[in-house]
């Protein structure tokens, strides 16, 4: 459904994304993991049209979308959320979601009604008339998700919608994400909460220093020595193995 | 819906005014208040609803004024026909300014400065070109007939400016209740989020400045008919730009009634200071400045916001 081929981008001297190729199959929940500063959000920026890559190409539903403006990509059916939730602060939750609903609905009434139904799906029904600025972090993450969902995307790019939530909130959000996929929306999610990655995604990609270093089933990937080293530092896999052996002995 | 009724009742009441009031002073005060409301409404569409703060709305006002005046003076065109022409010219200048600044992603103070620069360039041009009468300005030929958009008394002008303000009210109301308005306020509040939700921010802002400039140009054309005279300073000077932005800021940014509340409050204040201190030059500007500082400090959401807060507190 989504394919990135050899995309690279640098900021000054820093190669934030370096020759990364990745694919997201339709109907899946795919995750993108990696340590802080690995370039995950930057890669999202490229996929969604906010950043133009220095090299490489992105195609969505068989169509070349490299360098296309974000709103054009959204209209093709790919919508993103932001790691730092960016609500329309002065507007109510309902009005926030309705902006997404308007993509396919010209009538104000229809958009507001649709926004309500979306709020129900993500658990924001009780806060429809609150100004978005009054929401907690968890509420803002839900709103971010709701707005994106309201555009009725085929592919949803979620940038850490679970970060900053407590364990209970995470366990409330996870079924929401699964139900979105079950509703026919493909999901690509950046996530640090490993438990959620394991639970939710069928396939995961690992980014480190701008490079994709591993992919596969989450359970397999987390055992990959390269991935362990990326997270814990050079030699960590070796140390873990030997300490594991000692424990066995 | 409630807002719409309020608009219609209000405008209906003002329309009945000439039947009961014959004082030219009072009618003039009402006309000037509505005129300031119109300028405020125009600015409010772009800045209040769209978040693009212009310091140079005179560029659109002056273009409307000169378009109308020049057609009448040089070609003898009927003044009523000049009005739509003036609106189109103002809107075209709006499109030009918008296309240039929004294409290059100018925001905030950069956008404000560019609009100010445009107004100044136009002022200098108007000062030096024959077509606009140079520094002397243009005097619209006296006709004193309603068929020529000139009236014997004040009532005729009152109806015209009332109709224009009504158009401004309806536009503002529409922004509160339409997809376009939702997109515009979304761009104002967060352009990246809006883009991620499929909103073409460039296009939305461009449309806003075109509408805003068109309305502002209508104000310019009205000015020319009412005072029958225009010169570069009146048309493109900073006073008009300030008048356009002061009302909505005082009355309530991005609201339907903000420009009216602000215009009325400022007119009242202006009359008071004039009665108290006479016509000393600069006094009114100082008062305006002080009011602006006070508003921004204590009532960031304007008089309208104050009413809302009081209404929310009331049991
Ligand atoms: N606009 C920018 N200008 C300069 N450097 C940037 C810019 N955006 C990102 N970077 C740098 O690129 C690198 C990758 O950043 P990115 O935000 O993509 O990481 P991330 O994987 O999303 O990290 P996190 O898990 O902390 O969100 C970082 O070193 C960051 O400082
Ligand atoms: Mg990130």
Taking chain A (249 residues) in runs of 10, the rounded mean pLDDT of each run is 95 92 94 92 96 95 94 96 92 97 96 96 93 93 95 96 88 91 95 86 92 89 83 68 57
**Helix axes of B179-189 and A93-101: crossing angle, nearest 10 degrees:** 110
**Backbone dihedral region for residue B76 (phi beyond 0: left; psi -120 to 50: alpha; all else: beta):** left
**pLDDT recorded at residue B303:** 83
| A140, part of any domain | no
**pLDDT recorded at residue B183:** 98
**Mean of the per-residue pLDDT values of chain A:** 91
What is the DSSP code (8-state) at residue B158?
H
Give tens-digit pLDDT for B274-312.
777 776 777 777 777 787 788 778 887 888 878 877 777
Residues B148-158 as b/e (b if ≥16 CB within 10 A, e otherwise) read bbbbeebbbbb
**pLDDT recorded at residue A65:** 95
Share of chain B above pLDDT 70, in %: 99
Domain, as residue range, for A27: 2-86+153-247
Distance in Å, CA B125 to ligand 2 centroid: 51
| A187, part of any domain | yes
Distance in Å, CA B146 to ligand 2 centroid: 66
**Helix axes of A93-101 and A137-150: crossing angle, nearest 10 degrees:** 30
**pLDDT recorded at residue B97:** 96
Chain-chain contact of B196 with A89 (C-beta, under 8 angstroms): no
What tokens does B310 get? 């009081």
- What string of DSSP letters covers chain A? -EEEEEEEEEETTEEEEEEEEEEE-TT-EEEEE-STTSSHHHHHHHHTTSS--SEEEEEETTEE-TT--HHHHHHHTEEE--SS----TTSBHHHHHHHHHTTS--SHHHHHHHHHHHHHHHT-GGGTTSBGGG--HHHHHHHHHHHHHHT--SEEEEESSSTT--HHHHHHHHHHHHHHHHTT-EEEEE---HHHHHHH-SEEEEEETTEEEEEE-HHHHTT-HHHHHHHH-TTHHHHHHHHHHHHH-
Closest by Cβ to A100, choosing from B185, B192, B197: B197
CA distances from B297 to A70, B84, B294, B301 (A): 37, 40, 5, 10
Alpha-carbon distance of B238 to B231, in angstroms, equals 13
**Mean of the per-residue pLDDT values of chain B:** 91
Chain-chain contact of A99 with B178 (C-beta, under 8 angstroms): no
Give tens-digit pLDDT for B164-188.
999 999 999 999 999 999 999 999 9
Does the structure show a pLDDT above 60 at B159?
yes
Which of B198, B200, B300 is the best residue to mutate to test the A interface, defined by the most A CB atoms within 10 Å of its own CB? B198
Residues with CB under 6 A from ligand 1: A 11, 14, 16, 34, 36-42, 83
| A128, part of any domain | no
For ligand 2, a single-atom ion, which residues have Cβ within 5 Å?
A: A 41, 83
Please name which of B39, B85, B217, B66 lies closest in space to residue B127, comparing C-alpha atoms: B66
Which of A102, A147, A152 is the best residue to mutate to test the B interface, defined by the most B CB atoms within 10 Å of its own CB? A102
**Helix axes of B238-251 and B108-128: crossing angle, nearest 10 degrees:** 140
| Cβ–Cβ pairs < 8 A, chains A and B | 76
Domain count, chain A: 1
Q: What is the pTM of this model?
A: 0.92
What tokens does B101 get? 């600044």
- Which CATH number belongs to the domain containing residue A59 in this structure? 3.40.50.300
A112 touches chain B (CB under 8 A): no
| A243, part of any domain | yes
Give tens-digit pLDDT for B20-74.
988 888 999 999 999 999 999 999 999 999 999 999 999 999 999 999 999 999 9
Cβ count near A58 (within 10 Å): 24
| A169, part of any domain | yes
Q: Of A5-14, B134-143, B199-208, which one has max mean pLDDT?
A: B199-208
Which residue has the least CA distance to atom 25 on ligand 1?
Answer: A36
Alpha-carbon distance of B95 to B86, in angstroms, equals 14
């Amino acid at each position: 459904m989504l394919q990135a081929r050899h995309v690279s981008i640098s900021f000054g001297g820093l190669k934030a994304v370096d020759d990364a190729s990745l694919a997201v199959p339709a109907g899946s929940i795919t995750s993108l993991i990696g340590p802080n500063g690995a370039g995950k959000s930057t890669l999202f920026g490229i996929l969604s049209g906010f950043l133009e890559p220095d090299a490489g190409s992105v195609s969505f539903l068989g169509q070349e979308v490299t360098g296309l403006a974000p709103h054009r990509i959204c209209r093709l059916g790919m919508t993103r959320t932001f790691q730092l939730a960016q609500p329309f602060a002065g507007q109510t939750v309902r009005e926030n979601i309705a902006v997404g609903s308007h993509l396919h609905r010209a009538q104000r009434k229809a958009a507001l009604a649709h926004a309500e139904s979306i709020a129900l799906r993500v658990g924001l029904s009780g806060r429809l008339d609150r100004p978005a600025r009054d929401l907690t972090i968890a509420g803002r993450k839900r709103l971010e998700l709701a707005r994106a969902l309201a555009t009725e995307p085929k592919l949803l790019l979620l940038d850490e919608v679970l970060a900053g939530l407590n364990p209970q909130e995470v366990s409330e959000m996870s079924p929401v994400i699964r139900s979105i996929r079950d509703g026919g929306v493909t999901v690509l999610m950046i996530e640090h909460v490993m438990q959620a990655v394991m639970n939710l995604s069928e396939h995961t990609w690992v980014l480190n220093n701008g490079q994709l270093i591993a992919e596969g089933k989450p359970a397999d990937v987390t055992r990959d020595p390269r991935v362990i080293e990326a997270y814990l530092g050079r030699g960590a896999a070796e140390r873990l193995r030997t300490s594991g052996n000692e424990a066995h002995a | 819906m409630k807002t719409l009724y309020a608009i219609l009742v209000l405008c209906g009441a003002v329309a009945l005014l000439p039947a009961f009031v014959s004082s030219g002073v009072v009618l003039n005060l009402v006309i000037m208040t509505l005129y300031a409301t119109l300028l405020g409404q125009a600015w409010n569409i772009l800045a209040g609803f769209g978040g693009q703060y212009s310091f140079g709305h005179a560029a659109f006002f002056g273009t409307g004024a000169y378009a109308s005046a020049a057609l009448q003076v040089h070609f003898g065109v009927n003044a009523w026909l000049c009005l739509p022409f003036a609106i189109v010219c103002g809107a075209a200048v709006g499109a030009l300014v918008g296309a240039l600044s929004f294409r290059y992603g100018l925001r905030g103070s950069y956008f404000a400065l560019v609009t100010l620069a445009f107004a100044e360039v136009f002022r200098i041009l108007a000062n030096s070109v024959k077509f606009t009468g140079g520094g002397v300005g243009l005097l619209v030929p006296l006709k004193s007939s309603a068929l020529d958009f000139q009236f014997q008394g004040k009532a005729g002008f009152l109806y015209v400016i009332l109709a224009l303000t009504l158009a401004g009210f309806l536009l503002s109301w529409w922004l509160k209740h339409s997809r376009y308005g939702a997109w515009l306020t979304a761009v104002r509040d967060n352009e990246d989020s809006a883009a991620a939700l499929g909103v073409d921010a460039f296009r939305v802002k461009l449309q806003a400045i075109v509408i805003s400039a068109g309305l502002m140009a209508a104000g310019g054309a009205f000015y020319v008919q009412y005072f029958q005279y225009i010169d570069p300073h009146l048309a493109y000077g900073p006073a008009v730009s300030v008048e356009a932005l002061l009302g909505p800021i005082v009355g309530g940014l991005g609201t339907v009634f903000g420009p009216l509340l602000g215009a009325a409050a400022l007119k009242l204040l202006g009359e008071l200071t004039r009665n108290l201190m006479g016509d000393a030059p600069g006094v009114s500007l100082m008062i305006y400045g002080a009011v602006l500082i006070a508003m921004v400090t204590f009532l960031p959401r304007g008089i309208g916001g104050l009413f809302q807060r009081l209404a929310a507190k009331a049991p």
